[in-house]
Amino acid sequence: MAILTVALTPRGKMIPAAYELLTAGRALADSRKEPLCAAVLGSKAPEFAKNLLERGADKVFTLSDPRLDNFNDELHAKTLAALARKEGLGQILLPATVAGRSLAARLSVLLKAGLASEVCEVRQNGTGLKAKRYQYSGNVVSELEFKSQTQVLTVQAMVFPPAEKQAGRAGEIVPVALDASVESRIEFLSYQPEESSEIDLANAERVVSGGRGLGSAEAFKAIRELAQALGAAVGASRAVVDSGWIAYRHQVGLTGRTVRPKLYLACGISGQIQHLAGMSSSGTIIALNTDPDCPMMQMASISVQGDLNELLPLITAEIKRRRGQS
């Protein structure tokens, strides 16, 4: 059975995770000796088809219907389930985004398929499929095995590198019409974007997070300035969010968001377990803190002992200077 990756295009833009899924899917397809298919949904779908072929898909299904422009949990799931049944698609990979997770869950039931959420590793094992994922907020890795014939997986962001473009790589493009009889009880009313200058935490390669060690809401400005110099998203500890220094969507941790950037700077964050839960699988962790013995300094890849009020402006200036030179 062929492998399918799902390319979602919110607001008509391809999400970066779509290319990461192609990397994961390609490896599976090769070990199963099966074709790698991709489905792209929304009225702009045909515009993306060639790119998906060049990045490794053998076949691209374009579902270019305006009813699929905004994510609709029911319509997207019913449409993809029908496609999977018709085309014999056995392993379905989706991004671990808000839409991808909801879609994967509905699809698993429609297809009577086992579901593994936010996997960080997936491999063919004989005739079966095995996957690894984090549980307990990143403190435990579980390895699971699928027994169902069809398998649905969401893939953690930034675990797989994006598939590279091989210009001219060809394949099949198959337009698929949305079944007009499929109904949805969900109606899209409107969309309000986040301030556009900000980088979203979920897909950020770099995150600069501030904690109570900053001392005041005003001092948090230094975090934003460093983040801007680095091209990083802004994160925060719960202590800071609860103090009203920054909005909740920036909170990293157990009751906030999980991030997995290549670089995580924890500035004045003590490293309580609930904060670590959201960021401990980051690539390189840098801790800036006055207390060399706090958990964050102990677990960091690189630790700098010092006062943030002094350090942050100096680091920002140094980065700007280097960037200006290069």
Cβ 19 vs Cβ 55: under 8 Å: yes
- CB neighbour list of residue 126: distance below 8 Å, 6 or more residues apart: none
Task: Give the one residue of 40, 201, 240, 246 binding ligand FAD; rule: CB under 6 A.
Answer: 240
d(CA 217, CA 11) in angstroms, rounded, equals 33
- Using CB under 8 A as the criterion, what x/- string covers residues 67-86 for binding another protein? ---xx-xx--x---------
- Report whether 96 contacts 159 (CB < 8 A): no
The reply on whether position 56 binds ligand FAD by CB under 6 A is no
Collapsed DSSP state (helix, strand, coil) of residue 20? helix
Q: At what angle do helices 221-230 and 308-325 cross, to 10 degrees?
A: 20
Asked whether position 190 contacts another protein by CB under 8 A, the answer is yes
CA dist., res. 198 & res. 25, Å (int): 30
The contact mask relative to another protein for 154-183 (x = CB under 8 A, - = no) is ------------------------------
User: Which of 99, 159, 214, 269: binder of another protein (CB under 8 A)?
Assistant: 99
Site for ligand FAD in 164-223 (CB under 6 A): 211-213, 215
Name which of 235, 276, 26, 28 is nearest 131 in CA terms: 28
Q: Stretches 99-107, 142-150, 173-181, 306-314: which one binds ligand FAD (CB under 6 A)?
A: 306-314
Contact call for residue 41 and another protein (CB under 8 A)? no
CB 244, CB 284: distance < 8 Å: no
Q: How far is it, in rounded angstroms, from Cα 199 to Cα 189?
A: 25
Contact with another protein (CB under 8 A) among 126, 180, 189, 218: 189
- Judged by CB under 8 A, does residue 218 bind another protein? no
Binders of another protein among residues 100 to 159 (CB under 8 A) are 101-102, 104-106, 108-110, 112-118, 130, 133-148
**Residues of the shown chain interacting with ligand FAD in the complex, contacts defined by CB under 6 A:** 211-213, 215, 237-240, 251-256, 268-270, 272, 274-275, 278, 289-291, 294, 307-309
